[in-house]
Amino acid sequence: MIQGCENVRMDPLLRRAPRVAYRNGGVDEALREEGTLAVLGFGRGAATANDPRCFEVALECFDAPAPLEVWQVDAPVVHGAEGALRWSAGGGWLFVSIELDERECGGPRDTALRAYETLRRFVGQRDERHVLRVWNYLGAINQGDGDAERYKLFCDGRASGMGDFFAEGFPAATAIGHHADAPCLQVYLLACDQAGARVENPRQVSAWRYPRQYGRTPPSFARAMTLPAQDALAISGTAAVVGHASAHADDLQAQLQETFANLETLLASAGMAAGFDTHSPLKAYVRHPADVPQVRDFVRQHLPGVPVLLLHGDICRSELLVELDGWRYA
């Protein structure tokens, strides 16, 4: 619950946050339910459908069977496709996804540029033009040295493709490396016809203010985003970063503790009570499969009952072993 708001009646005109949950079951069943905005499957065996609301995320899940992630809104949903871009909308909310093959676009920089140019043009003409949350998944994210590292090239292309679309402030975001065979870039986002409120972490330098050592173009995201009705917090990819530096290189347990401290600080910065509950789904991206038992034990101890999806993904800094993101509902 948002602190200080227990007796305040929410403005009924503000958009209630989409409900995000993990569930086992069939894709078709989820798509038939009224208000289904998006259905995400994970890994090569993910069950998906030929529907613009479905998206197969190129990250393998350490849980079997991998659950679906389902987004639902309080309104009928329409959907469509424009080339590589797929979208769905309802109740003032918009889900958009795009997947591009780097072999057809010229590498990570040009692929990111094309993806974000396409997204900017589409979202910019919609009523739901306030982008609140973005997810980015690309292969071999840590490959390359210096400014030629693939993540840094992605950041260059993303900024060029965005132009001045986020001049008033960046959305919450995640960027993780996948291990799919195809060199593809996947981007999907949540937008609304009402603005949210950006949240930063006082323990960390804002990402867009990182010094030059992190690349020509600093990462472009807010640490979190409060959704319009202040009924949910969309949390960006959060790892063991203090100030702008990675902490506890190659020490998984210490990184988990630092990441948890950053999550709690974000909640406090957003004016939310401490802790997560059974309605607040999170993702844990784990670099090394051998580390999964330790991550799972940490989650059980520090986040009891919280739905946490464990995924095989590389963090954008090679010394970091784990990253968490997700949702916290008020």
Does residue 323 carry a catalytic annotation?
yes
**Amino acid identity for residue 199 in this structure:** V
Contact 233, 224 (CB under 8 A): yes
Using alpha carbons, list the distances in angstroms from residue 179 to 64, 209, 296, 302: 18, 29, 21, 28
Residue 219, preceding peptide bond in cis (omega within 30° of 0): no
Q: Who's near 322: CB < 8 A, 6+ residues apart?
A: 239, 240, 252, 255, 256, 259, 284, 285, 286, 287, 291, 295, 315
Closest CA to 221 of 176, 275, 184: 176
User: Which residue shows structure tokens 């259905």?
Assistant: 39
> Crossing angle of helices 150-162/108-124, nearest 10°?
30
Residues 149, 257: Cα–Cα separation, whole Å: 28
What are the tokens at 46? 């993910």
DSSP state at residue 16: P
Contact 122, 83 (CB under 8 A): no
Catalytic residue among 60, 102, 258, 323: 323
* Catalytically annotated residues: 323
